[in-house]
Structure 1
Amino acid sequence: MANGETYTGSCFCGEVQFTVKGEPAGMGYCHCESCRRWSAGPVNAFTLWKPEAVTVTQGTNNIGTYNKTSNSYRKWCKTCGGHIFTEHPSIGLTDVYAATIPEFPYHPGVHVHYQETVLRINDGLPKMKDVPREMGGSGISIDE
């Protein structure tokens, strides 16, 4: 993917639209209980971006925010309830859910919080106990 490419994303109904530009800082799957409950699924596919790479282009006033902790500000559309992204100020990144940017070439590189998994995935990707050390985690890998 070229460094300057822009991809368009939206909530479920399209009221909130946004773009991501450039390349993400990382991509993968999160297995933590919090992401599972928020996404209503057994695993969450994420793309991590610098905040300046994410621009809301429509529906700014239609975005709701919920933060269970100061580490995550989860955003959703007030019309359809569709989840959009999560701001992570403590690590300086925004998690744009891979499913919300359908044309983006998603290539996961890691599974995080795999110790909490409820769905084992044998895909050969690294499985982290929590998150990489540079993101404040233990950096410990675990077996598939």
Structure 2
Amino acid sequence: MNNGKTYQGNCFCGTVQFTVSGEPAGMGYCHCDSCRSWSAGPVNAFTLWKPEAVQITRGGNNIGTYNKTDRSHRKWCKTCGGHLFTEHPGWGLIDVYAAAIPDFPYQAGVHVHYQETKMPIKDGLPKMKDLPKEMGGSGVSLAE
């Protein structure tokens, strides 16, 4: 996807608005316990972007942050609690939740932390035990 387009995103109530531009570094589904707990769902659809591709256009002072670990800085709207994105400083990437950018043509390419899944998905995509090697994981793939 080399579209050079800009997509609008926002929190649940619209107080916080942002754009993502260009193309993401990756897209997929995360099955880890942290993402499931944070999203209150069985799986989290992610889009990974370089920080310069993500711009807060409104409500930046209304963004809350929670760091369970130094690896993930989770962001949400202080008004509605709507989840926005997670900064991953060690990777130099921001995970913008796919649902927060409704017009973006999301296409997952991988499942990560699949060993923790609570909802097996048979879609033909690679299923990583944890993360790809280049992101600090084992790089081990699991059977679908």
Specify the alignment match of 1:142 in structure 2.
Answer: 142
Quote the offset at 1:56 in angstroms: 0.3
Q: Quote how far apart the aligned CAs of 1:108 are.
A: 0.3
Residue number in structure 1 paired with 2:65: 65
Q: Distance in 2 between matches of 1:104 and 1:3?
A: 11
- The 1-side partners of 2:84 and 2:34 are apart by 16
Report the counterpart of residue 120 of structure 1 in structure 2: 120
User: What are the residue-to-residue correspondences of 1:34-49 with 2, within 5 Å?
Assistant: 34-49=34-49
AA partner of residue 36 (structure 1): R
Correspondence list, 1:1-144, <5 A: 1-144=1-144
Structure 1 position 2, deviation (Å): 3.9
Secondary structure, counterpart of 2:141 in structure 1? coil
Ranges in structure 1 where 5+ consecutive residues have no aligned partner: none
Give the drift of 1:142.
Answer: 0.2
Cα distance, 1:3 vs structure 2 = 3.7
Cα distance, 1:58 vs structure 2: 0.2
- Per-residue CA deviation, residues 59-118 of structure 1 (Å, 9 max, x unaligned), is 000000000000000000000000000000001100000000000000000000000000
Measured against aligned partners, the alpha-carbon deviations of 1:19-58 in whole angstroms (never above 9, x if no partner) come to: 0000000000000000000000000000000000000000
Identity percentage over the alignment? 78
Q: Aligned AA for 2:6?
A: T
Distance 1:109 1:19 in 2: 22
Aligned to 2:23, the other structure's residue is in SS state coil
Give the Cα separation in 2 of the matches to 1:28 and 1:136. 17
Post-superposition shift, 1:4?
A: 1.7
4+ residue runs of structure 1 moved beyond 6 angstroms? none
- Distance, in Å, in 1 between the alignment partners of 2:2 and 2:117 is 33
Equivalent residue letter for 2:18: F
Using the size of structure 2 for normalisation, the TM-score is 0.99
